Chains A and B, each alone.
Chain A
Amino acid sequence: MPLIDYIPAQTNIHFMRLRHWTFPFSAALSIVACLLFAIHGFNLGIDFKGGTLIEAQTSQQQADIGALREHLTDLDVGDVQIQEFGSPRDVLIRIGAFGTTDEAQQAILAKVNGVLGTDYTVRRVETVGPSVSGELVRQSILALVLGAVAVLAYLWFRFEWQFAVGAIVTTLHDIFVTLMIYSAFGVDFDLTSIAAILTIMGYSLNDTVVVYDRIREMLRRYKKLPLPELLDIAVNATFSRTIIVSTTTFFATLALYFFGGEVLRGFSLAMTVGVVIGTYSTIFVAAPILIHLGLRASTVSLPTKDAADPEVKELDELVKLEAKDAAAGVPPEAAPATGVSSKSGKGKNGKPNGKAGPARPAKA
């Protein structure tokens, strides 16, 4: 029924063998990222550095940035940057935190407004005083740390610790690479960037958890299988899902980047990179790292089954439904038999039904 079937339904790629290439690559990437942070640093936006940002639009055909720069430099208000913003008519003026007081900043704003005069319409003004910017830095760091801790705790609760550690390492890797983009391209790093990073964190984890879920299931099913082979099966089994969701999310971030407007450009760039890197790391970091964290099939606890599982009723309904089919002349196929045999835990598909206990509390 699908019009096309570009995405291969079943792949058999030896992802785990590739880890001898991808681990060094990811490590190198992270080191480069650290070096970049140390040498190049970040283009901190006014949220974190304090200062004033003014977006203005000229009534003329084109903004005369040269003249504007001259006038503003004459004001002697310290570090002034002017750039075109989106269209030739729009300019973005950035003024560093002049002096250290909040009052001084308001005075600068008044002066700049005077220079812009009637030729320009001020479309946006943001001023962050030194006292607030310091707090925002602390708050943002706290947010990122808390986010990581919350996720670690949840994963530890739901999975084994190896998964939790693996997910955090993977997520940190993704955050580092995203931050690298901010550093390398000098993208303004502000509160929206923190939102972008937390979102990438969420996305990357989401991606990782889907694969981890399958790995855990496989561990219960194939206890004798060597871990690398098992991981390959799990990653291949989720591969098409990983690719499809990455693609749709990539479409969304790309649409935002090209059409979402100038204000969101930095955010969407980071998101786009984050989606790509999050997908890569799910396959090439999150899964293989489990080998090195010493994950064994024996460490995965078996789920307990309960006779009163609601699923039994559901399956009964299905049996009835398909029995009606049979009566109506539709070939019944093997469904009822498979369904029942999986209950008893024998047959070919003798894997446990449903997920582990915590997600689906069995009714007693």
Chain B
Amino acid sequence: MLHFSRLKTAAILITIAIGFLFALPNVLSPGMLDRLPSWLASSRVTLGLDLQGGSHILLEVDGPALRKERTEQLRDEVRRVLRDQKIGYSNLALRDTSVTLRLRDPNDTQKAVTELKKLAAPVTNALFGNSSGEMDMTVSSGADGVVTLQLTDAGLSAKMRSAVEQSIEIIRRRIDQLGTVEPNIQRQGLDRILVQVPGLQDPQRLKNLLGQTAKLSFRMVDQSMSPQQALEGRAPPESEVLKGQDGQPYLVEKQVRVSGEDLVDAQPGFDQNSREPIVSFRFNNNGAKRFATVSQEAVGRPFAIVLDNQVISAPVIREPILGGAGQISGAFTVQQANDLAILLRAGALPAPLKVVEERTVGPSLGADSIHAGKTAAYVAGGLVTVFMLAVYGLFGLFALIALAVHIILMFSLQSVLGATLTLPGIAGVVLTIGMAVDSNVVIFERMRDEAREGRSAISAIDKGFVNALGTILDANITSLATAVILFLMGGSGPVRGFAVTYILGLLTTMFTAYTLTRLMIAYWVKWRRPAKLPI
């Protein structure tokens, strides 16, 4: 075991040298890093949000809301189809994820079912992009002219999938507007989206941006009765009462005249006269045309600008707006106007999102944590150094050199793999300082045993390595098993960071403590030809 060919020696040293190179950027200042030649590795260890500060937010697509919306959409389609086909019906109702109706004339059943079946679309398989053969809804009819349209689970989960994908896209657009570095946005499970934004000063603003569906609509204000009357009595069926920003009620038509989908741009600005913050917007051709028609018909009447079922403002149309551009003023602060413009530009979410988990760490706490972690690492390193030197002398020094290389290799692997170093990860590094010497201790103690049994120094050293290998492998693989489980179950947060550090630590320690120490001791043996085991 003590013989190393030149090639093997070179391979080990080159591995370590490459490790050093990859770890190097972590200790250089950014300025020095820039001056390095470009072929050198420049990636540093990615710090977790708990160390650099930032927000980790887990959002969930509101499943019930999405299903309700899909069912309502189906109801509207049913209404349209039956009207087009001139089929009389009554009792059109929603029940969970199904739509039921009763045909006036049961003889129409055949025709109605045929026409309504045309509404069903095949569900595409998300993985392969082909059709799974399932439809997104089924149509069934009873004897007495009752027709039921039931949305299928396959169709609904496909809807959920696409809602999550769309939401991710829209969230990305919204966050990009904040100008933060490298947000991480990814789907989690069936209906969740993980958003990680490092180094944010105002996490509340981020949540405001994410929490709004931003569904914008322009509708006419219903002036047939006052909002109070509608609240007390019965609102007209085609209108509803919505609250304004201060909570005052408005009676607004349900029909959407122009929707936010037709916006092409929205910018924050200031009103020329009042100097108040406003958001100015522009419609696409389609929107501009419709807005022109509406405004021509309704000069002198108020219309409502509705965002997520809240009336932002309800100005009176003074003159037809033909240019396809307009502005929203709603007693905004500058930031509110800014954020509204961001939301309008990014588009509306397909369904509301709710925050189900949030972990935000301020930058100052992150810096304190790094500092504390470093201190703990130095103290642990100092204690272990003194102890190992006291117990093993020269061989202790070899073990400590291996330990130092091990830590450097851990950092270089972390940098290369882009693994995130979290606070528990730092704890993992510090623990490694204590545990990494284990393999060396097993080897050294084995050498002592062998020497005690009467072997010569060189033979004892050799047998120490030979006999310790199995033990080291067994011990490390069992630890590795628990670490891998931790990694798989650790989700996306700090615990996973710990698992990564722990796994990398176990892997590098097997290399440094066994191979590197053996190399050092082999050369030492060649040089000194020891007659007596030095430990």
Residues on A facing B (Cβ under 8 Å):
1-7, 9-10, 55, 57, 102-103, 105-106, 109-110, 113, 121-129, 131-132, 136, 139-140, 142-143, 146-147, 150-151, 154-155, 158, 191-192, 194-195, 198-199, 201-203, 205-207, 209-210, 213-214, 217, 237-238, 240-241, 244-245, 247-256, 258-261, 263-264, 267-268, 271, 311, 314-315, 317-318, 321-322, 325, 328, 330-335, 338-339, 348-349, 353-356, 359-360
Chain B min CB distance to A275 (Å):
8
Q: Which residue of B lies closest to A252 (CB)?
A: B434
* Contact indicator B477/A154 (Cβ below 8 Å): yes
Asked if B3 is an interface residue, CB under 8 A from chain A, the answer is yes
Contact of B379 among A255, A271, A335, A354 (CB under 8 A): A255
B residues touching A (Cβ–Cβ < 8 Å)? Answer: 1-3, 50, 58, 60, 203-204, 207, 211, 354-362, 364-365, 368-369, 372-373, 375-377, 379-380, 383-384, 387-394, 396, 423-424, 426-428, 430-435, 437-438, 441-442, 445, 448-449, 452-459, 462, 466-467, 469-471, 473-479, 481-486, 488-491, 493-495, 498-499, 502, 526, 529, 531, 534-535
A128 and B357 contact, CB distance less than 8 A: yes
Partner of B356, one of A102, A194, A260: A102
The residues of B that contact A321 with a CB separation of less than 8 Å are 2-3, 458, 526
Closest partner residue, chain B, to A57 (CB atom): B364
How far does the alpha carbon of A240 sit from the alpha carbon of B484 in the complex, in Å? 30
Whether the pair A359, B474 counts as a contact (CB closer than 8 A) is yes
| Cβ distance B387 to chain A, nearest Cβ, rounded Å | 6
The answer, among B211, B384, B389, B479, for a CB contact under 8 Å with A3, is B389
Query: Which interface residue of B1, B204, B364, B441 has the most chain A CB atoms within 10 A?
Result: B441
Pairs across A and B, CB under 8 Å, 7 listed: A9-B452, A199-B431, A210-B474, A249-B431, A252-B432, A311-B466, A339-B462
Q: Are B441 and A195 in contact (CB under 8 A)?
A: no
**A205, B431: Cβ atoms closer than 8 Å:** no
- Nearest-Cβ distance from residue B471 to partner chain A, whole angstroms: 4
Q: Are A154 and B478 in contact (CB under 8 A)?
A: yes
Partner of B380 from A57, A122, A256 at Cβ < 8 Å: A256
A259/B494 in contact, CB under 8 A: no
Contacts A102-B355, A209-B471, A263-B369 hold; do A252 and B375 have CB atoms under 8 A apart?
Answer: no
In the assembled complex, the Cα of A353 lies from the Cα of B3 at a distance in Å of 18
Instruction: Please tell me if the beta carbons of A121 and B376 are within 8 angstroms of each other in the complex.
Output: no
Q: B393 near A2 (CB under 8 angstroms)?
A: yes
Within the complex, the shortest CB–CB distance from B353 to chain A, in Å, comes to: 10
A5–B241 alpha-carbon span in the complex (Å): 86
Which of B354, B391, B430, B483 sits near A202, CB closer than 8 Å?
A: B483
CA distance A240 to B441 in the complex (A): 9
Q: Please, how many angstroms separate the alpha-carbon atoms of A199 and B506 in the complex?
A: 12
Cβ contact within 8 Å between A264 and B535:
no
Would B431 and A253 count as touching, CB distance under 8 A? yes
Whole-angstrom CA separation of A121 from B376 in the bound complex: 26
Kindly state the separation between the CA atoms of A105 and B375 in the bound complex, as whole angstroms. Answer: 36
CB-CB under 8 A from A202, the residues of chain B are: 478-479, 481-483, 502
Whether the pair A147, B486 counts as a contact (CB closer than 8 A) is yes
Nearest neighbor of A139 in chain B, beta-carbon distance:
B489
Does A206 lie within 8 Å of B476, measured CB to CB?
yes
The docked-state distance in angstroms from the alpha carbon of A202 to that of B435 is 11
Q: How many whole Å from B512's CB to the nearest CB in chain A?
A: 15
| C-alpha gap A123/B99 in the complex (Å) | 50
Given A213-B474, A318-B462, verify A331-B531 contact (CB < 8 Å): yes
Q: In the complex, are the beta carbons of A143 and B531 less than 8 A apart?
A: no
**Inter-chain pairs besides A206-B479, A248-B435, 6 sampled, C-beta below 8 Å:** A124-B361, A136-B491, A250-B434, A252-B430, A268-B427, A311-B466
Contact indicator A121/B362 (Cβ below 8 Å): yes
Given A125-B359, A142-B489, A248-B384, A3 and B390 contact (CB-CB distance below 8 Å): yes
For A10, A201, A245, A250, the residue with the greatest tally of chain B CB atoms inside 10 Å of its CB is A245
Q: In the complex, what residues of B have CB within 8 A of residue A330's CB?
A: 529, 531
Contact of B357 among A1, A127, A147, A244 (CB under 8 A): A127
Classify the interface of chain A: helix, strand, loop or mixed. helix
Q: Which residues of A contact B364 (CB under 8 A)?
A: 57, 121, 123
Q: How far is the CB of A291 from chain B (nearest CB, A)?
A: 22
Q: Is the CB of A271 within 8 A of B475?
A: no
Which residues of A are found within 8 Å of B361, using beta-carbon distances?
Answer: 123-124
Give the complex CA separation of A243 and B470 in angstroms.
20
Q: CB-CB < 8 A to B526: which residues of A?
A: 321
**Distance in Å from the Cβ of A171 to the closest Cβ of chain B?**
9
Across-interface contacts of B459 in A (CB, < 8 A) = 318, 322, 333, 335, 338-339
A217 CA / B446 CA spacing, docked (Å): 13
Of all chain B residues, the one with the shortest Cβ separation from A237 is B449
The interface residues of chain B lying within 8 Å CB-to-CB of A210 are 442, 471, 474-475
Contact of B458 among A258, A263, A335, A354 (CB under 8 A): A335
Contact B531 A261 (CB under 8 A): no
Q: How far is the CB of A343 from chain B (nearest CB, A)?
A: 12
The answer to whether A201 touches B482 (Cβ under 8 A) is yes
Determine which residue in A142, A195, A325, A353 has the highest number of CB atoms from chain B within 10 A of its CB, and name it.
A195
The reply to whether A158 and B474 contact each other, CB–CB distance below 8 Å, is: yes
Most buried by A among B365, B426, B427, B476: B427
Contact B471 A255 (CB under 8 A): no
Q: Nearest chain-A residue to B2 (Cβ)?
A: A318
Asked whether B203 lies within 8 Å of A248 as measured between CB atoms, the reply is no
Contact B493 A252 (CB under 8 A): no
Residues on the B chain within 8 Å of A131, using CB: 60, 356
CB distance from A30 to the nearest CB of B (A): 21
Cβ-defined contact, B456 with A256, below 8 A: no
Complex: A6 Cα to B364 Cα, angstroms: 44
What's the Cα separation between A84 and B425 when bound, in Å? Answer: 25
Checking A129, A192, A328 against B495 with a beta-carbon cut-off of 8 angstroms, the contacting residue is: A192
Question: A241, B379: Cβ atoms under 8 Å?
Answer: no
**What residues of B have a CB within 8 angstroms of the CB of A140 in the complex?**
489
CB within 8 Å for A354 and B431 given contacts A124-B365, A129-B357, A333-B531 = no
Determine whether the beta carbon of A251 is less than 8 Å from that of B470. Answer: no
Say yes or no: A248-B388 contact (C-beta < 8 A), given A267-B424, A338-B454, A338-B459.
yes
CA distance A315 to B437 in the complex (A): 27
Instruction: List chain A residues, Cβ under 8 A from B486.
Output: 143, 147, 194-195, 198-199
Q: Tell me the complex Cα distance, A334–B531, Å.
A: 11
Per the bound structure, the CA–CA distance linking A113 and B452 in Å amounts to 68
Take A202-B478, A206-B476 as given contacts and tell me if A334 and B491 are in contact as well, using a CB distance cutoff of 8 Å. no
For B384, B494, B495, the residue with the greatest tally of chain A CB atoms inside 10 Å of its CB is B495
